[in-house]
Amino acid sequence: MVGWFEIPATDMDRAIRFYEAVFDVKMTRQELGGIDMAFFPMVEKGMGSGGGLVNSGSNYKASPDGILIYMTAFSGDVSTELDRVVKAGGTALMPKTQISPEIGYMALFLDTEGNRIALHSR
């Protein structure tokens, strides 16, 4: 159902460093219509939706209380990405926790901007 997602960032350089370190990816930064954005690399069809970081002043506000985005732990183990969260300056909120044998595992973290994000792996 998700077609696109945007994660608010007040300090784009810091947020880009954080997410590149956690997910071991290279983000592409671009200004679109006066909005500073950084895009996560697109994944293979059927492997999730695209999205990125956005800094657009008062239109976006980081929050630990709003919608929860589950990001795929492509390492195959949420513990790997969760360890990177702490090393990159984020905060682990929930350790690797089994949802069910069929669904897999999750973990929660707070990013450097103050957003609560989930990780998921099978």
What is the per-residue pLDDT for 4? 85
CB atoms under 10 Å from CB of 72, counted, come to: 16
2 pLDDT higher than 80: no
What is the per-residue pLDDT for 37? 94
Residue 32 phi, psi dihedral angles, 5° rounding: -125, 115
DSSP 119: E
- Structural domain boundaries in the chain: 4-121
Distance CA 107, CA 15 (A): 19
pLDDT tens figures, 51-103: 889 998 778 888 898 889 999 998 999 999 999 999 999 999 999 999 999 99
Quote the CATH superfamily of domain 4-121. Answer: 2,3-Dihydroxybiphenyl 1,2-Dioxygenase, domain 1 (3.10.180.10)
48 pLDDT higher than 80: no
pLDDT tens figures, 21-36: 999 999 999 998 889 9
